A and B are shown apart, each in its own frame.
Chain A
Amino acid sequence: MAQVKVTIDGITLEVPKEYTVLEAAQKANIDIPTLCYLNLHETSMKSNKASCRVCVVEVEGRRNLAPACVTPITEGMVIKTNTMRVLKARKKIVELLLSDHPKDCLVCTKAGDCELQNLVEKFGIRNSSEINKGEQSTYPIDQSYSLIRDMDKCVMCRRCETMCNQVQSVGALAGVERGFKAIVGTAFNKPIMETVCTHCGQCVAVCPTGALTERENIDEVVKAIANPHKKVIVQVAPAVRVALGEDFDYPAGSIVTGKMVAALKQIGFDYVFDTDFAADVTIMEEGAELVSRIEKVLKRETDVKLPILTSCCPAWVNFYETQFTDLLDLPSTARSPQQIFGAIAKSYFSEKMNIPKEDMVVVSVMPCLAKKYEVERPEFNHDVDISISTRELARLIKQMNINFESLKEAEFDRPLGESSGAGIIFGTTGGVIEAAVRTAYEKITGESLEKIDFYELRGFEGVRTATVKAGDLEINIGIAHGLKNARMIMDEIRAGNPRNLHAIEVMACPGGCIGGAGQPYHHGDGEILQKRRQALYKDDVANEIRKSHENSEVIALYDTYLKTPISEKAHALLHTYYKAQERI
C-alpha cells in the first residue's frame, strides 16, 4: 500500500494514501471529535455525510477549515487540529446545533449516552444565552411498539438514514424537506407504523442524540412485580448475558450470566428462566422441519419448497412480510424463541405448576427492539406480556438499588432454565444454523456427532455460504446478517436459487443479536461486537450439553407434553403463519 507523509499537530507520520485526515489523526492518537461520522468497522455501516462540521481542522495552505472525516490526505499535508480558530469554530457549530435542540437533557432517555451532550461537556460550552436564541423546530412525536421518534432532537447527522438504506435496505427513512425544515422523515410523513420499517431499531443503535430511542416498558414490569396476585416470569435471551456487563463498567465480552440471574431474582421475579431453553425447542421444531422438507424435496413432493429460512428474528420476519411477499412459503413456521417460551410458559409450565395463565405475567429481556413489536402481534395473544431491552434491564437493576458487581452468582430456575450450548450461540450470526445442523446431522445420519464445532459456519462477512455433509447428504447453507445482505440472498432465491441453497439463516442486525438495537450502545466501536460474539462461543464450549436435543428438560417437555416435534400439539403452540403486509 502506498504511503504518504503527513504532519498532524507537529507529529509526522506515514499512513496509507487512501486515508482521510480523521483516519490519519486516529493513527497518531489524536482524537478529533466527530458527531455525524460513524464507522462500525467490519460491518457495512459507514456514515460520513460531513453534515455536522464538528471535525473541522486547519490544513496549511487552505483558506477554509476542512472536515477531517471526508478530507483525503495528500503528501506533505500539514494539519492542525487544536488551533484557536478550530476550537472556536467547532464550539460555535455545537452552539448552533443546540440553539435548535430541546434543553430537556435532564429527563431525556439518551442522557448519559448522548454524543451531543458529550461534545458540550468536552468543548466546555457554558454560555447558555448563545444556545437559547434562535428558532426551535417542533415535530409531533411518532412511535411504534419498538421505538420513539422525537425529531425535535434530530441533528441531521443522517446516520439513521444510512443505516436504514445502505445497511438494511429497508428504506423507511429519508432526508425530507430543505433548509430549516429539513428532517429525516418517512414517506409523506406517515407514522412509522404505516411504513416498511422492520422495527429492527438499528437507527436507534446509531442515533447520537435522543431523536431515536426505544419505547421503554420498565414501569410495566415494576407494576407487575408489585402486584401480589401475579406470578411474574422472566426469560433472558442469549446475547443479553454477554453485553449487560458493559452498562456496569465490565469490559466488553464479559459473561455475567450468574450476576444477571441473581439481579433478576433480587428484583422480585418469581421465576428466572432462559430463552436458550426455548431456542433449543426452536431447533427441535425448525430442525425437524428442515429434515422433513429435505426428505420431501428429495422424494420430489411438490407441496414444500427449499430453501428453508430461519424465522427467529422478528425484524427479519417484518422484512419478508413487506418485501418478499411472493416467497412467504419459504420461512420456517417455527415461532421465535421468545414466543415459543411464552407459549410453553402459559401452557406446559402453567399446567405443571398449577398457575392459571391469567395470573401469569411473562417478561422477556431481549437484545432487541423488534421483539417489542413481536409481542404485540395479535396471533401470539400476548403469550409474552412485556419485552424489555438489555439497556432497560440495566436501568431496572439500578432503579432497584442493586449493586450488580457485589451480587453472588445464581443459577436459572428449572425447568425452563436449562439450556444447551446450541441455544447460547443463537445470539450471533451463524449460531442458529450451527445449532440446527448439530441436531439435523444426528437426525439424518442416526449417528452421534463428534465434531460439534462447525467453524465453516462462523465468521463475520455479510453473506456466507458453506456445505455441510450429513452422511451422504450435502446441505448447502447460506447465512446473512444485516438486511441488505439478506436482500441479496433473497434476490438470488427469487432468481431461481442458482447455488441450490437448502437452508438460510438471517439475522437483521449487523453481527446478529449481539449487535441488537437493545444492547448497550457501541458508539461505533465494532470491536465490542466481536468481543460479545467470542463470549457466546466461549459460553457454548463451557456447557456440558451442546446439542439442543440433548437438553434434558427439552426431552421431558416432548416426552410428557408435546410428544414429537411438529406434532399437532407442537404445531398449535409453537408454529405460526405469515401474511403479506401492505406498507409504504
Chain B
Amino acid sequence: MGCEGCTNQLTESLYKKLEQFIDELPEKEGALIAVLHKAQSIFGHLPAEVQQFVAQKLNVPVAQVYGVVSFYSFFTMTPKGKNPISVCLGTACYVRGSDKVLQAFKEELGIEIGETTKDGLFSLDALRCVGACGLAPVVMIGDKVYGKITSKEQVKSILNEYR
C-alpha cells in the first residue's frame, strides 16, 4: 500500500506506450491482432480495460476485441504468475506421460490451465514441444527446463524450489 500513485503512473506509462504503437500504425484496419500482441507484451496480459482501450483506439466494438482475445490461446486475460509453468504436451512428452505431470501440477497448485495461483506465485500453461524431446516429459518454469519428470514427488520438490 501507499504506492497507489506510482502504480497508476506506471500503468499510465504502459498505456502511453501502447497508444504510441497504435498511432504509428500505417493502417489501423486489420491491425487488431498485431495491436493485441503488442498490448500483451506491454501489460503481460490483456485485462478488460486494456481491451476497451484497444477497441476505442481502433474503432471496433469491444465484443469483437474480446472475441479475438478469447479465440486465440496465446492471448490471456489473467496475469501470469511470478513463475510461469509450461507443461509440454508435444508428442514425445505426451507418450511419456506428460498428461499425468500436468495433472500433478493442477492438483498441487489447485489451478487449471490458463489460471494463476491466488498468491500470484505460479501460473499454469500447456505448450507443444520445446525442442528438448530427449528429456521428455519436459516442464519449463520461467526460462528453466526440467526434464524426465515422472513422479508427483518430483513435481512437489520442483515447486518447493520457488516457494
B40 CB within 8 Å of chain A: no
Is A171's CB under 8 angstroms from B63's CB? Answer: yes
A472 CB-CB contact with B under 8 Å: no
A188 touches which of B64, B66, B71 (Cβ 8 Å): B66
Given contacts A188-B48, A584-B52, contact A178 B71 (CB under 8 A): yes
- B147, CB-defined interface residue at 8 Å: no
Q: Is the CB of A171 within 8 A of B71?
A: no
* CA A140 to CA B62, docked complex, whole Å: 21
Q: Within 8 Å CB of B62, what residues of A?
A: 171, 187-188, 584
A195 CA to B61 CA, complexed, in Å: 10
Residues B52 and A174 in contact, CB atoms below 8 Å apart: no
Contact of B63 among A172, A177, A178, A182 (CB under 8 A): A172
Query: A176, B67: Cβ atoms under 8 Å?
Result: yes
Q: How many angstroms from the CA of A26 to the CA of B62 in the assembled complex?
A: 38
| CA gap between A584 and B65 in the complex, in Å | 11
Quick one: closest B residue to A189, CB to CB? B66
Chain A residues within 8 Å of B61, by CB: 165, 170-172, 174, 187, 196
B70 at the interface (CB under 8 A from A): yes
> Is B14 an interface residue, CB under 8 A from the partner?
no
Contact B63 A173, beta carbon cutoff 8 Å: yes
- B64 adjacent to A165 (CB under 8 Å): yes
**A251 near B: Cβ within 8 Å?**
no
Q: How far is the CA of A170 from the CA of B67 in the complex (A)?
A: 15
CB proximity of A407 to chain B, nearest CB, Å: 46
B33 CB within 8 Å of chain A: no
Contact among B64, B65, B71 with A177 in the assembled complex (CB-CB below 8 Å): B71
Is residue B10 contacting chain A, with contact meaning CB distance below 8 A? Answer: no
B48 x A171 contact (CB < 8 A): no
Closest to B62 in A: A187
Per-residue CB proximity of B48-75 to A under 8 Å, as 1/0? 1001100000001111111100111000
Majority DSSP secondary structure for residues of B touching A: helix
Query: With A188-B48, A584-B52 in contact, is A195–B63 under 8 Å at CB?
Result: yes
Of chain B, the residue at the smallest CB distance from A169 is: B61
In the assembled complex, which residues on chain B have CB atoms less than 8 Å from the CB atom of A165? 61, 64
Q: Which of A64-82 contact B (CB under 8 A)?
A: none
Give bound CA distance, A172 to B60, whole Å: 11
Rounded to whole Å, the gap between the CB of B19 and the closest CB of chain A is 19
Q: Is the CB of A185 within 8 A of B71?
A: no
For B67, the chain A residues whose CB sits under 8 A away are 174-176, 185
A99 interface residue, CB < 8 Å from B? no
Q: Nearest Cβ in chain A — how far from B94, in angstroms? A: 19
At the interface, yes or no: A186 with Cβ under 8 Å from chain B?
yes
The B59-93 residues at the A interface (CB cut-off 8 A) are 60-67, 70-72
A177 to B70, CA, bound (A): 5
- Residues on B with C-beta less than 8 A from A176 are 63, 66-67, 70-71
Using CB atoms, name the residue of chain B closest to A178: B71
Complex: A57 Cα to B61 Cα, angstroms: 36
In the assembled complex, the Cα of A175 lies from the Cα of B71 at a distance in Å of 9
Which residues 187-216 of A sit at the B interface, judged by CB distance below 8 A? 187-188, 195-196
Q: Bound state CA distance, A196 and B61, in angstroms? A: 9
Return A494 CB to nearest CB of chain B, in Å.
13
Using an 8 Å CB-CB cutoff, how does the interface string of A154-182 with B read, 1 for contact, 0 for none?
00000000000100001111111110001
Task: Judge whether A187 and B66 touch: CB under 8 Å.
Answer: yes
Partner of A186, one of B51, B60, B63, B72: B63
Chain A proximity of B69: nearest CB distance (Å)? 9
Contact B63 A187 (CB under 8 A): yes
| Nearest CB in chain A: distance from B31 CB, A | 17
Measured CA separation A175–B68 after assembly (Å): 8
Residues of B contacting A171 in the complex (Cβ-Cβ under 8 angstroms):
60-64
Contacts of B66 in A (CB 8 A): 174, 176, 185, 187-188
For residue B66, which residue of chain A has the nearest CB?
A: A187
Residues of chain B contacted by A182 (CB below 8 angstroms): 71
Q: Which A residues lie within 8 Å of B65 (CB)? A: 187
Closest to A197 in B: B63
Residues of A within 8 A of B51 (CB): 187-188
Write 7 A-B pairs (CB below 8 A) sorted by A numbering: A170-B61, A176-B70, A177-B71, A178-B70, A178-B71, A187-B61, A188-B66
Residues of A within 8 A of B (CB): 165, 170-178, 182, 185-188, 195-196, 584
Contacts A175-B67, A187-B62 known; list 10 others, CB within 8 Å: A171-B61, A172-B63, A174-B61, A176-B70, A178-B71, A182-B71, A185-B67, A186-B63, A187-B63, A187-B65
Closest 9 CB pairs of A and B: A171-B61, A174-B67, A174-B63, A187-B62, A187-B63, A174-B64, A187-B66, A176-B70, A176-B67
